[in-house]
Structure 1
Amino acid sequence: MSLSQIVTQLASVAVPASTATGAPTRLNPVELFLQADIVVQAVMAGLILASIWVWAIIVSFSMKMGRLDRQNREFENRFWQADDVEPLVRTNEDLPSRRVAAAGIAEWQTSTRRGLRDKEGLRQRLASSMEAAVTSESDSIAEKLNFLATVGSVAPFVGLFGTVWGIMNSFFQIGAQSNTSLAVVAPGISEALFATAIGLFAAIPAVIAYNRFSHRVNAFETKLYRFSDRFHASLSRELETM
């Protein structure tokens, strides 16, 4: 046997059977998507879009909360150091604390415009108006979190629907070809299970982000309530001198 023949035989032994037969040696997500049934493809595409939107919300909300925390803290520092807070409140700064303070000042001016008759009633109206402003600000901040909650709860079931449909299609292929070979069933099942994997890929970050951001919104709301209570106490002290 010549040297070239020995090298050829060794090479044929070294090549894995899957490569020699042209079968893939690892999972290819793109191929799984392209070879899937049209219904499963639609499920996968929807879940991929949902995942992209989830990550867009995560990035944008993180930046927004960081900016709001910093700007609100700076505004509150200027607010408590100012001798006259009305010029600060009249500005167009897009800040929750400014709007909460503006709600309190607006109620104060409305109630005292024609003379003060009921101090205790004014105190209650001031508290109610600022509490309503705090609730409105919190709801506005948390508005986008509803999408994260929806994706986190629905995406796994949407992926499961794609998986069930793909497995049904695989069994249909078994009946159509009268062949129970694993080679007939395995590709369809792999494509079907890939839909569930994408569903989990979209749901898991959404759930984690929703829980984390809900905590941040609650903490921010607590800060607004503290600011509201402190400003209410300040107005109440001024009310006692009238």
Structure 2
Amino acid sequence: MNPVFNMDAATLSPVALFLQADIVVKIVMGGLLLASVWTWALIFAFWRRLGKTRREMRRFENDFWKAEDIDAFYKREGDAALPSARVFAAGVREWRRSTAGGTIDKDGTRERLATTMAAASAEEVDTLSDKLNILATVGSVAPFVGLFGTVWGIMRSFTGIAAAQNSSLAVVAPGIAEALFATAIGLFAAIPAVIAYNRFSHGVNRIEAALNRFADGFHTTLSRQLDSSR
């Protein structure tokens, strides 16, 4: 019997399957396990980041709409490391540049304000969703990497069967088990990544919508000031 497959049912544990696997399958399994650990680290980090960002944005926007003096609020909160604060700061800077001269082009000021805050909002969304592509990559690639390990392991099993000239279950089962274990690890890495990617994408979309609503509201406030100016 081929010694590679000389295992009984008691030794068909995940650790034994990994140790008995071919070097190629071991590399596949190890890579997928690292990808799984990395995925879970990103999931927890992104989950905390999104939750904190949403809470701080709500607090910032509530304080903004209660503020009576925009300039005073800008001095106090303009440097906050928040998406809504950066959109607000971009709008204030553009407002000051556009209204610094003696004659104000109202239509041009409105257009520049809208463009500036939309660009700031898009930049914040891009920054916030920077790591989502990693989850998408793991979710789409990991099953195929695991499948490669499975195909390689099954090929090795058939080679062992031919060498042993014995097709009994005791000879076939260990090799097939280690091969399928590679696919299981691939799915273990991919499924959480796909679920997290979908949920976090939805969360980023909600933040983007909130940013756009805030920018529109701030633009309306500044537009009223333009209408009241001479």
TM over 0.5: yes
**Shift of the alpha carbon at 1:98?**
0.6
Question: What does 1:29-178 correspond to in 2, within 5 Å?
Answer: 29-90=14-75, 91-178=78-165
**Shift of the alpha carbon at 1:176?**
2.4
Could you tell me how far apart the structure 2 residues matched to 1:117 and 1:86 are? Answer: 19
**Shift of the alpha carbon at 1:79?**
1.2
* Number of positions where the alignment pairs a residue of Structure 1 with one of Structure 2: 221
**Pair 1:26–1:79, CA change in 2 (3 A):** same
**Shift of the alpha carbon at 1:122?**
1.0
Could you tell me how far apart the structure 1 residues matched to 2:13 and 2:64 are? Answer: 58
**Shift of the alpha carbon at 1:65?**
1.1
- Specify the code of the residue in structure 1 equivalent to 2:100: R
Q: Larger deviation: 227-236 or 168-177? A: 168-177
- Specify the code of the residue in structure 2 equivalent to 1:98: A
Matched, 1:221 2:208: yes
- Specify the code of the residue in structure 1 equivalent to 2:186: G
- Specify the code of the residue in structure 1 equivalent to 2:40: W
- Specify the code of the residue in structure 2 equivalent to 1:30: V
Q: Larger deviation: 153-162 or 183-192? A: 183-192
| CA contact 1:174–1:185 (8 Å) conserved in 2 | yes
Higher normalized contact order (CA 8 Å, seq sep 6+, divided by chain length) = 2
Could you tell me how far apart the structure 1 residues matched to 2:34 and 2:130 are? Answer: 20
**Shift of the alpha carbon at 1:26?**
7.3
Matched, 1:188 2:169: no
CA RMSD of aligned residues (A): 1.5
Aligned residues with identical type, % of pairs: 61
**Pair 1:179–1:172, CA change in 2 (3 A):** same
Structure 2: unaligned runs, 5 residues or longer: 1-6
Structure 1: unaligned runs, 5 residues or longer: 1-21
1:94-152 CA-to-partner distances (Å, cap 9, x unmatched) read 11111000111111111122233421111111001101111111111111111111111
User: Which of 24, 28, 34 is equivalent to 2:13?
Assistant: 28
Could you tell me how far apart the structure 2 residues matched to 1:212 and 1:142 are? Answer: 12
